[in-house]
Structure 1
Amino acid sequence: MQFGEELGKIQFSLMYDFPDQTLVLRIVKANHLPAKDFSGTSDPFVKIMLLPDKKVKMETKVKRKNLNPIWNESFHFEGYPYSKIQERVLHLQVLDYDRFSRNDPIGEINLPLAEIDLTHEKLYWRSLTPSKKSSGKLGSLLISLCYAPTAGRITITVLKCQNLAAKDITGKSDPYVKIWHMHKDKRVEKKKTVIKYHTLNPVYNESFVFNIPLDRIRDTTFVVSVLDKDRLSKNDMIGGILLGARTSPAEMSHWNEMMSKPRTNIAKWHVLKGVN
């Protein structure tokens, strides 16, 4: 399944200080990172290693709610003879900081230092590639959007979910989907699907109609959450997405396609994001 979401780029500089036998790395910034949080943004930081040495890990500061973070932080790997540096691979992983659960990987690069001229400081831009174990750990949601401008109506059809994170002790979940219609960040209306019991791959095929005049559409968003029904305690959030004109790239492109093809059902898969 291809979701086609760009992971952004990272800028950094490298040089080797020969007298001090030290590799100097400067993490400058990242651009166009994808939103990993429910709010449509991310809290990125960079984890640094010289593979295969996994014991020495360094990290930048966390930049809150920023998809184009600027760090300008320097890191020194001291006591590495040049011959040893030539055998190392620089590993940079960009993660979204999460206070309540595991940090969510955004993307990474692996750069063999033997391929780099380290005799003077040089700036590099590199595109991030998917981190191992990162894609879709909460599962994904197939949803269809249809806009009828003359009627001032949006129909959202919740089709199905795939590979949802298990929330029950049995290794399953009892998932349902909740949709909040928001206007200018105020809750307007809530709709819910039925609950599907003991499954991580529920099929719903349920449609919900929302009346939205054209002049309100720019300030309209939908918070779509997948939850695990729990009889004894608060329902567990599995993950969610935000649909609207000002959301993250994958969700926004789905919304824009709906707007450009009125009265047509546009179905797309979305990777669920954690709720911060």
Structure 2
Amino acid sequence: MDTYVKASLLPGASKASQLRTRTVRAMKIPVWEETLTYHGFTHQDAARKTLRLCVCEDPWLRRRRRAPPLGELRVPLRKLVPNQARSFDICLEKWRLTKRSKSLDTARGMSLYQEEVETEVAGEERGRVLLSLCYSSQRGGLLVGVLRCAHLAPMDANGYSDPFVRLFLHPNTGKKSKFKTSVRRKTLNPEFNEEFFYSGPREELAQKTLLVSVWDYDLGTADDFIGGVQLGSHASGECLRHWLECLGHSDHRLELWHLLDSRPVQLSD
């Protein structure tokens, strides 16, 4: 057999949380020895999500039609202890076929959910973004790093997006207040690692608002808004804490994940 293991998080968008190992060819006792990583995974995710592992036979190597998985295993992640590895030696279960909601099959900008497990899919998040903030005393300004996004909502018909990130420091005007990253093609978990600079004293920056928005690039038509987050003195929770800690400690780089809101932020002049 030519087999691989496919991992996904339930409930959730199947392609946004789908990872897989390499294919091991011509083996009935395959060994992978691989580590799959979900970026942006939180304690809240562990409390409500289940890891699904499917052992599948690769149809492309033998030019056959795709067959159902050979077996699967579901692990409720709430049973795991943080920072402690746990091993399992469990027999695979028969693959479970679940219904797909017909109302979502043709909805542009929403995930095609393969699984509906215990919770409604309507409440699924739009994704999250990893940002770094650092006030540089040497350069006299704020360094904003857009590191990566995770579990973005798919906006294209192929089930993926072509994401990029826009930054806007309000109430500044002109090009120096607006930046955007490069576009990452056909992915829901893009990695950017790009950094941008806003000059100004800390007292002045403390009165401003940083708007971070994630978009799906479309050629010839308007880009699709995926989600955004607002950082500044008017924010709350983790967004406010990230902003205040950055401006309160010079030359200290602080990274933090932020959930994306599906509603665009409206800023007054």
TM-score by length of 2: 0.51
Q: Residues 136 and 272 of structure 1 are in contact (CA less than 8 Å); yes or no, is this contact kept in structure 2?
A: no
SS in 1 for 2:258: strand
Deviations 1:203-247 (A, max 9, x none): 000000110223312221111000000002100000000111221
User: Where does residue 2 of structure 1 map in the other structure?
Assistant: 42
Q: Which amino acid aligns with 2:127?
A: G
- Measured in 1, the distance between the counterparts of 2:158 and 2:122 equals 23
**Equivalent runs, 1:130-209 vs 2, <5 Å:** 133=121, 137-149=125-137, 151-183=139-171, 189-209=177-197
- Measured in 2, the distance between the counterparts of 1:207 and 1:134 equals 34
Q: Residues 183 and 219 of structure 1 are in contact (CA less than 8 Å); yes or no, is this contact kept in structure 2?
A: no
Which of 206, 224, 227 aligns to 2:215? It is 227
User: Which is higher, the Rg of structure 1 or of structure 2?
Assistant: 1
Aligned residues: 151
- Measured in 2, the distance between the counterparts of 1:262 and 1:132 equals 44
Q: Which amino acid aligns with 1:219?
A: Q
User: Where does residue 237 of structure 2 map in the other structure?
Assistant: 249
Deviations 1:165-192 (A, max 9, x none): 00000000000000011137x6761101
Moved segments of 4+, more than 3 Å: 131-136
Q: Which amino acid aligns with 2:213?
A: S
Query: Higher strand share goes to which structure?
Result: 1
Name the CA shift for 1:252/1:132 in 2 (closer, same or farther; >3 Å). farther
Q: Residues 162 and 216 of structure 2 are in contact (CA less than 8 Å); yes or no, is this contact kept in structure 1?
A: yes
**Aligned: 1:263 with 2:251:** yes
TM-score by length of 1: 0.50
SS in 2 for 1:255: helix
Name the CA shift for 1:164/1:133 in 2 (closer, same or farther; >3 Å). same
User: Aligned-pair RMSD on alpha carbons?
Assistant: 2.5
Q: Residues 127 and 259 of structure 2 are in contact (CA less than 8 Å); yes or no, is this contact kept in structure 1?
A: yes
- Measured in 2, the distance between the counterparts of 1:149 and 1:168 equals 42
Instruction: List gaps (5 residues or longer) in structure 1.
Output: 5-100, 103-130
**Higher RCO (CA 8 Å, separation ≥ 6 residues):** 1
Q: Residues 149 and 214 of structure 1 are in contact (CA less than 8 Å); yes or no, is this contact kept in structure 2?
A: no
Percent identity, please: 32
